[in-house]
Amino acid sequence: MADRCFHLLRLIFVLGAFLVSGSTLAQRETSSGRPADLEKVITTFGIQIVTTDPGFPIKTTHGAIAGKVADVRELQDYAGVFVREFSLYPRELVERSRLKRVVLCSDLSFASQRRSAIPDFEHHTLYLDVSGGRDNGLYQRKVIHHEFFHILDWIDDGRVYEDITWVRLNPPGFNYGSGGSRAQDNSGTSVLTEKYPGFLNHYSTTGVEEDKAEIFANLMVDSDYVRRRISKDPVLRTKVETMKTLLSQFCPQMNEAFWRRVERTAAGDQP
C-alpha cells in the first residue's frame, strides 16, 4: 500500500516548465460566468468545466488539492487555448477517458506544493492552472495533452507506472529515473532534444508514464519535430507507432485520419 501511495503521489506532479502567451481572445461571458467558448466543450463532450470555486480544498486519499478562482482576464486567455486543444479530441475518446470535469483555476497546489496541473483519478477530474506557462503557449498546450494522457493511461488498465511492453522498447540497458516530480528543478527537462536517443527529452527518461505522455503531447502539438526525430531514431519511431496503435485500439476514432487532421491543424498554425 505504501508503495502504491508513493506512486499515486508521484502521479500528482508539476508538469515541468513549458510556457507561451495565451491567445488574447475577446470572448463573451455567458450567464454562467464562463467564457463562451467553454460552453462548446461542455456541449460537445458532455463534461463539466468549473471556473468557480469547486470547494477547495478538495480532499483525496493522498492529500488535498487547493486552488483559487482564476483572474477573469487570465481565464479568458486560457479558455481559447484550452478549447482549441481539447476540441482536437474525438468525442468518443473523451467518453472512454471517463473524464467528468475540468477545473480551471489558479494557485493550484497538491499537499501545499504548487502544481500546474493535477489529474485527480479518484474524482475523474482534471485540474489546470490557467496561469501556468502564460509566457510559453506551446508549453501550455502540451500540458493539456500530457495530463489528459495520464487520465487515458490510468483508465485503460488502472496502471500508470508499470508498462513492461513499453519498457522493452527502450535501448538495451536503459532504466528510467525516479519519476517526473523529481525533475522539477531541472529547467531544461521538457526541452525537446536529440541528446537522449529513443526519447524526446530528459523528462521522458524519468518514468515510463512520462515517456508515453510526452510522446502523446508532442504528437498533438509538434508533430513536425516528432516526424524529424523518428526519421533517424528507430527506437523512437517504434514508440510512436506503438502509441498510435494503442490509442486506436482504445478508441477506433484515434486513427490515421485523426492524426492527419491534427497535423493539418498544426500546419495551419504556421505564420
Residue 57 contacts by C-beta under 8 Å, 6 or more apart in sequence?
Answer: 64, 65, 66
* Closer CB to Zn ion, 156 or 263, in the complex: 156
Shortest reach from residue 115's CB to Zn ion, in Å: 11
# binding residues, Zn ion (CB under 5 A): 3
* Closer CB to Zn ion, 213 or 215, in the complex: 213
Site map 200..239 versus Zn ion, x via CB under 5 A = ----------x--x--------------------------
> In the beta sheet, which residues pair with residue 115?
none
C-alpha–C-alpha distance, residues 99 and 91, integer Å: 11
| CA nearest neighbour of 240 among 229, 251, 253 | 229
* Closer CB to Zn ion, 149 or 250, in the complex: 149
DSSP letter at 44?
H
Shortest reach from residue 15's CB to Zn ion, in Å: 6
Shortest reach from residue 66's CB to Zn ion, in Å: 20
Interacting stretch for Zn ion, rule CB under 5 A, among 2-10, 29-37, 79-87, 180-188?
A: 180-188
**Nearest residue (beta carbon) to Zn ion:** 213
* Closer CB to Zn ion, 137 or 180, in the complex: 180
Cell digits for 235?
A: 527506437
Shortest reach from residue 223's CB to Zn ion, in Å: 19
- Burial of 105 per CB tally in 10 Å (0-12, 13-18, 19+): buried
* Closer CB to Zn ion, 65 or 213, in the complex: 213
Cell digits for 120?
A: 485527480
C-alpha–C-alpha distance, residues 252 and 256, integer Å: 10
Residue 212 contacts by C-beta under 8 Å, 6 or more apart in sequence?
Answer: 149, 153, 163, 166, 243
Shortest reach from residue 13's CB to Zn ion, in Å: 6
Interacting residues with Zn ion (CB under 5 A)? 180, 210, 213
